[in-house]
Amino acid sequence: MSESWINIGNFDEVPKQGARVVETAFGDIAIFRTKDDEVFAVRDKCPHKGGPLSQGIVSGKRVSCPLHDWKIQLDSGLAVAPDEGCVATFQVKVVDGEILLLLNTEALQATA
Amino acid sequence: MAEKLVLIGNGMAGVRTLEELLKIAPDDYQISVFGEEPYGNYNRIMLSPVLAGDKSIDEIMLNDDDWYQEHDITLHKGKKITEIDRVNRKVIAADGTTENYDRLLLATGSRPFVIPVPGHDLPGVISFRDIHDVDNMIEASHDYKQAVVIGGGLLGLEAANGLMLQGMQVTVVHLMDSLMERQLDTAAASMLKETLQERGLQFQMGTQTEAILGDDRVQKVRFKDGTEIPADLVVMAVGIRPNIELAQQAGIHCERGIIVNDTMQTFDPRIYAVGECVQHRSLSYGLVAPLFEMAKVCANHIAKMGIGLYQGSVTSTKLKVTGIDLFSAGDFIGDENSEELIFQDAARNVYRKLVVNDNKITGTVMYGDTIDGSWYFDLMRDKTDITDFRENILFGQAHLGDSGHGDDNRVVMMADTAEICGCNGVCKGEIIKAITEKKLFTLDEVRAHTKASNSCGSCTGLVESLLAHTVGGDYSVAPHLKPMCSCTDHSHDQVREAIRVHSLKSISAVMDSLEWKTDGCSKCRPALNYYLLCQWPDEMTDDSQSRFINERAHANIQKDATYSVIPRMWGGITNPTELRKIADVADKYKVKTVHVTGGQRIALYGLKKEQLPAIWGDLNEAGLVSGHAYGKALRTVKTCVGREWCRFGTQDSTKLGIELEKMTWGSWTPHKFKMAVSGCPRNCAEATIKDFGVVCVDSGYELHVGGNGGIKVRATDLLCSVKNEAEVMEHTAAFMQIYREEAHYMERTAPWIERVGLTYIKEKLLGDPDKRKQAAERFLFSQQFAQEDPWEARAKGAQAHEFAPLKIIA
């Protein structure tokens, strides 16, 4: 199993209450930064109709999908009730100002 | 350690307060509940349908035992609290159970008033209040034949109807000469009486009960005039009395009800009270909507977010008798200063009366067809000036010039498969199923669960009527001042005023100052950003993270996450250089679709976000700039060729269109804003369905406002006629500025004008030429900071992070 922490860029490159995209061979991952400077990584694909979550408005630990305004919880990947659905989440951490993303090729492939 | 909250009274008001509290502060309290009845919380309003056999008890349960468990609430079912010990802060039940409290919530409700005539305590004499009473009535209907209901009010008639459906012969005895005199005028009351008589009810009007006679069970009822009628069952339904004894014993100040302040606190600040047991500003309420409003405020305060105030409710009534539509609200009788507008069609059994004071609705009674009840009710609560549509108001909202839903508004007749929400494809059956299965009460809940009315909102009226018909009429009532969103209790107008008065100049300043409950959401943040930009054009820095993606990326996101690019074509005029450039760009970037828009432009579809800055740079080379087709902003100024070419043209509509677009482009507005200039009254540019339309005539220019071609087509209202182009420009700028300053975010000019009234807009724009000039100047001042092509800046590298991936991993 190939699992490794990958440096995906500097923390400052992600805007507060915003997101950036990491492109992989198995689809995009959205990297979010909240108002409190927490960082989250989720699959950039809304469980509803596949909207790019990275393009949504970030409030608290939630993002609103730009297509139909579903709210997705960034820590769990769960849609906020009463909507039902789930998006894959990825481990991410900030070390010395650099964002590290834990990627597992098999898992990534499975959720693509 | 969590504080202890004890609720006395396991009914709708109390439990609703707990639900509201759990939403905002789920961990703050350890909660226990005492209820006298051996059930969970059920919907008392729906007892009539249970009696009538339309529903079962299970169907009206709101919170079952699992709900209490799930939320870690201790439920003491069937335990009556007999004492509140305020010194030691504990409550004591009849069986000796005690609970300590840090805060106590009283929701003891009310009980039916029993007239103390001789025989009132005989077996077979009951009231209509809880499940136990309903069981009694249903049981009696099996063994007995003759029922007498004392009281011809709402509850009495519902009980009478139910008993009749259970097979009994029912006589309604009423003290007054007119049924439901607190909700209906005599005309509507007599129509109601006639209908009920046709169904088989009998009435004794203007009759006072003297005694109830019988040996071991009721046998007869005797009246003041000496007459008697046989009775095996007597239901007393003459009114309710708040249950205040417990509070009184504990020394809490009571009058008719338990006195509370605007945060629902009693005389003892640790003790709150909500629901029918309460007396607030000298009024007590027995309807659900006020109870829910109280619950919300009370929960806020218990959660120590003391921002909401309960300021009383305006209520409406609907009778829950299948097949009888009846609606009443406000002061429906009127006085010597009020006028009455009446519509009566005896053959169709339809009656509508509006009581109007100073051109504002102060009350309404409707019988037979009540679909417009919620509309009249809104107009009444919002104190809308009805001058502008008074001549059509009795025919209902469908006749107000919009050709949207029209007669489709009659939801009750619609099939279950009929589509209610066209945006999200939700049909009537789905909505009713969600309302009954998920126990939904409010429009917001229906929106959240079904998505109906959650997009364009044009079916809101339909959904509200469905809600009213499914769960009873007084549920869907929204608070008088609608909060911007669930993040705050403040309305749009209150927020704008605070921004202005307190010189708030950032989103966080607004949220701090007005005690926002969250750090915002996708509804309020874009609104706040707009309000701030509008108020402080020269000082405010745009918060791009609070903008919807289209405005942040200056392109329209499409369903596959690609974008469209639509350059501006001033007044709909283009030339070979621009067209050649667009063709080159379409080739170079392999554009999938090239489309001519309704606003006289060319749109390129299917572009990747990373490509946008380069495409914009290429388009800029030919002078093509952003068309703001993605924004709540000035969109297009559509024109015809006018006098220059057309044999009918009266003025140079094309040139005027270009000038208008040059003046107004780049301005942010509450919603999209479209304009058009037609060269003659044939109106080829369709100016009369635009937010602002100019129709050229031989003598000058007609200015039209408030049209749109969208969900509900609305033709414009004529604002005025002017003589020259300079006047057109000034009126346009002034109108846009007033709209920018006063409309709510996401409110187009059409609903805005219907909300505030054309008379108001005319007064603002035409009343004082100096004020108009000042408004136009404010617009032009703001434009100094707005007219910068966002595409050019981004083509040159601005906001580069927006358009590039953070990293590409192979």
pLDDT one-digit tens code per residue, B183-241: 899 999 999 999 999 999 999 999 999 999 999 999 999 999 999 999 999 999 988 89
Name the band, by pLDDT with cuts 50, 70 and 90, for residue B458. low
Asked whether the beta carbons of residue B448 and residue A24 sit closer than 8 angstroms, the reply is no
CB contact under 8 A, A51 and B521: no
Q: CA-CA distance, A108 to B14, in Å (whole number)? A: 48
**Res B477: pLDDT:** 45
Domain residue spans of chain A: 3-111
B743 vs B412: which has the higher pLDDT: B743
pLDDT at B347 over 80: yes
Contact between chains at A23 and B548 (C-beta distance less than 8 A): no
More confident residue, A1 or B611: B611
Asked if residue B717 lies in contact with residue B400, where contact means CB atoms within 8 angstroms, the answer is no
Contact yes or no for B545 and A15 at CB 8 A: yes
User: Where does CATH 3.30.413.10 sit in chain B?
Assistant: 634-786
* Tens-place pLDDT, residues B666-700: 999 999 999 999 999 999 999 999 999 999 999 99
Instruction: Mark yes or no for CB contact A56/B521 under 8 Å.
Output: no
Res. B747: pLDDT tops 80: yes
- Distance from first CA to last CA of chain B, Å, rounded? 51
pLDDT at residue B476, as a whole number: 39
B599 C-beta neighbours (distance < 10 Å), count = 20
| Chain B residue whose CA is closest to A50 | B560
Q: Using 50, 70 and 90 to split pLDDT, how confident is the model at B265?
A: very high
Q: What percent of chain B has pLDDT over 90?
A: 65
How far is the C-alpha of B543 from the C-alpha of B527, rounded, in Å? 11
What confidence category does residue B408 fall into, taking pLDDT thresholds of 50, 70 and 90?
very low
Mean per-residue pLDDT, B305-323:
75
Q: List residues bridging with B326 in a β-sheet.
A: B367
Q: Does A111 touch chain B (CB under 8 A)?
A: no
More confident residue, B200 or B401: B200
Instruction: Provide the CATH number for the domain formed by B125-238 in this structure.
Output: 3.50.50.60
Which residue would you say has higher pLDDT here, B419 or B144?
B144
As a whole number, mean pLDDT of residues B64-84 equals 92
Q: What is the pLDDT of residue B478?
A: 43
Pairing relationship of beta strands B339-345 and A71-73 according to DSSP bridges? unpaired
- Rounded to a whole number of angstroms, the distance between the first and last alpha carbons of chain A is 17
Tokens representing A45? 């694909």
Distance CA(B636)–CA(B709), nearest Å, equals 14
The one-letter amino acid code at A101 reads L
What are the percentages of helix, strand and coil residues in chain A, rounded to 5? 10, 45, 40
Handedness of CA B727, B730, B733, B736 (dihedral sign): negative
The answer on pLDDT for B412 being more than 70 is: no
For chain B, what percent of residues have pLDDT higher than 70? Answer: 95
Contact B130, B224 (CB under 8 A): no
Q: How far apart are CA B142 and CA B148, in angstroms?
A: 16
pLDDT digits (tens, 9 = 90+) for B632-641: 999 999 999 9
CATH architecture of B550-621: Alpha-Beta Complex (3.90)
Encode pLDDT of A51-108 as tens digits: 999 999 999 999 999 998 899 999 999 999 888 899 999 999 999 999 999 988 887 7
How many angstroms away from the CA of A59 is the closest CA of chain B? Answer: 5
Nearest to B464, CA basis, from B446, B491, B484, B482: B446
- Model confidence at B459, pLDDT cuts 50, 70, 90, reads confident
The secondary structure of residue B642, as a DSSP letter, is G
| Residue B679 token pair | 């060269």
Cβ atoms of B728 and B722 within 8 Å: the answer is yes
- A18/B545 touch (CB, cutoff 8 Å), yes or no: yes
CATH architecture group of domain B634-786: 2-Layer Sandwich (3.30)
3-state secondary structure of B791: helix
Contact at CB, A56 and B549, closer than 8 angstroms: yes
pTM of the model: 0.70
What tokens appear for B701 in the block? 């220019």
- Does B561 contact A52 at a Cβ distance shorter than 8 Å? yes
Six token digits for residue A61: 């630990």
Spatial separation of the C-alpha atoms in residues B595 and B532, rounded to whole Å: 35
How many contacts, defined by CB atoms under 8 Å, are there between A and B? Answer: 80
B519 and A CB contact within 8 Å? yes
Q: Which long-range contacts (CB under 8 A, 24 or more apart) does B603-606 make?
A: B603/B564, B603/B565, B603/B566, B603/B629, B604/B564, B604/B565, B604/B566, B605/B558, B605/B562, B605/B564, B606/B558, B606/B560, B606/B562, B606/B564
Q: For B556-586, what is the HEC assignment?
A: EECCCCCEEECECCHHHCCCHHHHHHHHHHH
Q: What is the pLDDT of residue B320?
A: 66
pLDDT confidence band for B709 (50 / 70 / 90): confident
B807 CB within 8 Å of a chain A CB:
yes
Q: What is the pLDDT of residues B98-156, one digit of tens each?
A: 999 999 999 999 988 888 999 999 999 999 888 888 888 999 999 999 999 999 988 89
DSSP state of B74: E
Return the SS3 of B675. Answer: strand
Chain A environment of B549 (Cβ under 8 Å): 55-57, 66
Residue B773 confidence (pLDDT): 97
Looking at the structure, give the CATH architecture of the domain made up of residues B3-110+242-302: 3-Layer(bba) Sandwich (3.50)
Residue B403 above 60 pLDDT?
no
Find where tokens 């937010």 sit: B691
Partner residue facing B806 (CB), from A8, A57, A60: A8
C-beta atoms of A55 and B519 within 8 A: no
Angle at A65 between CA A64 and CA A69, to 5 degrees: 70
- The answer to whether the peptide bond before residue A82 is cis (omega within 30 degrees of 0) is yes
- In chain B, CATH 3.50.50.60 covers 3-110+242-302, 125-238
Q: Which residue of B has its CA nearest to A55?
A: B549
For B10, other C-beta atoms within 10 Å of its C-beta total 26
Contacts of B512 (CB under 8 A, 6+ apart): none
Are the Cβ atoms of B809 and A23 closer than 8 angstroms? yes
User: Does the pLDDT of residue B552 top 70, yes or no?
Assistant: yes
**Closest by alpha carbon to B479, among B496, B499, B458, B494?**
B494
Single-letter amino acid, residue B753 = I
Assess whether pLDDT exceeds 90 at residue A22: yes
Report d(CA B720, CA B731) in Å as an integer.
9
Higher pLDDT, residue B283 or B673:
B673
**Of A36-45, B312-321, B357-366, B563-572, where does mean pLDDT reach its minimum?**
B312-321
- DSSP letters of B491-515? BHHHHHHHHHHTT--SHHHHHHHTT
Indicate the pLDDT class of residue B457, thresholds 50, 70 and 90. Answer: low
Give the other-Cβ count within 10 Å of B425's Cβ.
11
* Bridge partners, B389 (sequence order): none
* Predicted local confidence at residue B425, as pLDDT: 76
Closest CA to B569 of B540, B606, B596, B587: B596
Contacts of B494 (CB under 8 A, 6+ apart): B481, B514
Read off the pLDDT of each residue in B452-473 and give the average, rounded to a whole number. Answer: 72
Report the alpha-carbon distance of residue B586 to residue B579 in Å, rounded.
10
What is the pairing mode between strands B98-100 and A18-24? Answer: unpaired
* A1 at interface of B, judged by CB pairs closer than 8 A: no
Report CB contact under 8 Å: A15, B801.
Answer: yes
Give one word for B265, left, alpha or beta, with left for phi > 0 and alpha for psi -120 to 50. Answer: beta
Q: Which two tokens stand for residue B183?
A: 């909700």
What's the mean per-residue pLDDT of chain B? 89
Pinpoint the alpha helices (H) of B649-768. 653-664, 725-742, 749-756, 758-766
Helix intervals (H) in B91-153: 131-143
Range with the poorest average pLDDT among B297-301, B309-313, B340-344: B309-313
Q: How confident is the model at residue B472 (pLDDT cuts 50, 70, 90)?
A: low
What is the predicted pLDDT for the residue at B475?
Answer: 43
pLDDT of residue B119: 93
Are the beta carbons of B772 and B733 closer than 8 angstroms? no
Cα–Cα distance measured from residue B296 to residue B230, given in angstroms and rounded to the nearest whole number? 47
Q: Which of B125-139, B331-345, B582-596 reaches the highest mean pLDDT?
A: B582-596
State the DSSP H helix or E strand holding residue A7, giving kind and residue range, or none if neither.
strand A3-10
Query: Of all helices (H) and strands (E), which one includes residue B240?
Result: strand B240-242
Enumerate residues 8 to 67 of chain A having a beta carbon within 8 A of any beta carbon in chain B: 8-9, 13-18, 20-25, 28, 31, 35, 49-52, 55-60, 64, 66-67
Pairing of the two strands B350-357 and B360-367: antiparallel
Closest C-alpha among B654, B224, B809 to residue A90: B809
The conformation of residue B540, written as its DSSP 8-state character, comes to P
Residues of CATH 3.90.480.10 domain(s) within chain B? 550-621
Residue type, A93: K
| CA dist., res. B620 & res. B791, Å (int) | 8
Supply the angle between the helices B576-588 and B612-621 in degrees, to the nearest 10. Answer: 150
Residues of A in contact with B522 (CB under 8 A): 56-57, 59, 64, 69, 71
Please, is B573 exposed, middle or buried when counting C-beta atoms within 10 Å of its C-beta (0-12, 13-18, 19+)?
middle
Please give the pLDDT value at position B467: 79
Is B401's pLDDT higher than 60? no
Q: Give me the CATH topology for the region A3-111.
A: Rieske Iron-sulfur Protein (2.102.10)
Mapped to the 3 state alphabet, what secondary structure does B274-336 carry? CHHHEEECCECCCCHHHHHHHHHHHHHHHCCCCCCCCCCCCCEEECCCCCCCEEEEECCCCCC
Torsion sign over Cα B751, B753, B754, B755: positive
The ipTM assigned to this model is 0.93
Tally of CA atoms within 13 A in the half-sphere of B48 that contains its CB: 17
